[in-house]
Amino acid sequence: MSEKPLMPRATAVWLVDNTALTFKQIAEFTGLHELEVQGIADGEVAQGIRGVDPIATGQLTREEIERGEKDPNYRLKLAKPPVELPKTRRRGPKYTPLSKRQDKPNAIAWLLKHHPELSDAQIIRLIGTTRNTIEQIRNRTHWNIANITPKDPVVLGLCKQVELDEAVRKAAERVAKEREKAGIAHPEEETLKSPEETLAELDEKSLDDVFGAPSAQAEAKEEEEGVPDAESVFAGLKKTDPEQ
């Protein structure tokens, strides 16, 4: 199946209005039916659709259109993009260069240590490993466990930072939903209290409960040293006052 231009109907509208190409040529190029192209020319189809110039979008060249106008049997060819874009792999395991495969156990150890919320499936997608390897490193039964050192997979070049951040975000959302479904409060909700709640608790507690009761040694020391009364304190102040 040959490639077709983007926005085929809008492209067909432009070709009908701006070229001498036949309906069949336009239909073959855009992937539309010949009768549909004829309907566009008659104003019965694609009303209100603004034409898109395939030359401006790099999908056709002026020379290609001229060839088609000179030969009604000529089939227009879609122009190749100036830069060949890499095809995106949508399915299958992530490919890792041979030189970096030995770093996978270190990356797995790092993810298990710093992001335990990540699922095995997320780790597999991030660095292209297997569930069995993850389990062996988690249980420390891997054959090379003594030499495995946790290392950031982004630094090792096994994944991109944006991919790791996205995986961590999704994992955090999943954990939050699971905790909410199970009726478990968030850790921050368990530790943080409002100022009113804190003051109410302090009112109910004595100073000894808040700051700790004095030890027996501290009480004995105070008795030995003696606690000065108010009269002795004022008497000392009078002696040191130069106006007296």
For 184-196, write each residue's pLDDT tens digit. Answer: 755 544 444 555 5
Mean pLDDT to the nearest integer, 139-164: 92
The tokens of 29 are what?
Answer: 């190029």
Closest CA to 106 of 160, 156, 168: 156
Residue 189 confidence (pLDDT): 46
The pLDDT-based confidence of 33 (bands split at 50, 70, 90) is very high
Is this prediction's pTM over 0.75? no
Residue scoring higher pLDDT (200 or 76)? 76
In angstroms, the Cα distances linking 38 to 11, 42, 169, 191, 214 are 14, 6, 52, 72, 99
Which pLDDT score is estimated for 105? 93
Q: Does residue 143 register a pLDDT over 70?
A: yes
How is the chain split into domains, by residue range? 8-70, 98-182
Q: Which of 57, 163, 147, 136 is nearest to 102 (CA)?
A: 147
Residue 37 has pLDDT above 60, yes or no: yes
**Averaged confidence pLDDT in the chain:** 78
Percent of the chain that is helix, strand, coil (3-state, to 5): 55, 0, 45
- How confident is the model over 29-56, as a mean pLDDT? 87
pLDDT, residue 230, reads 55
| Confidence at 124, pLDDT banded by 50, 70, 90 | very high
Q: How large a percentage of the chain has pLDDT more than 90?
A: 40
Higher pLDDT, 111 or 47: 111
For the segment 211-239, the average pLDDT, to the nearest whole number, is: 56
Nearest to 157 by CA among 204, 79, 97, 203: 97
Handedness of CA 80, 86, 87, 88 (dihedral sign): negative
pLDDT: which is higher, 118 or 212: 118
pLDDT of residue 50: 86
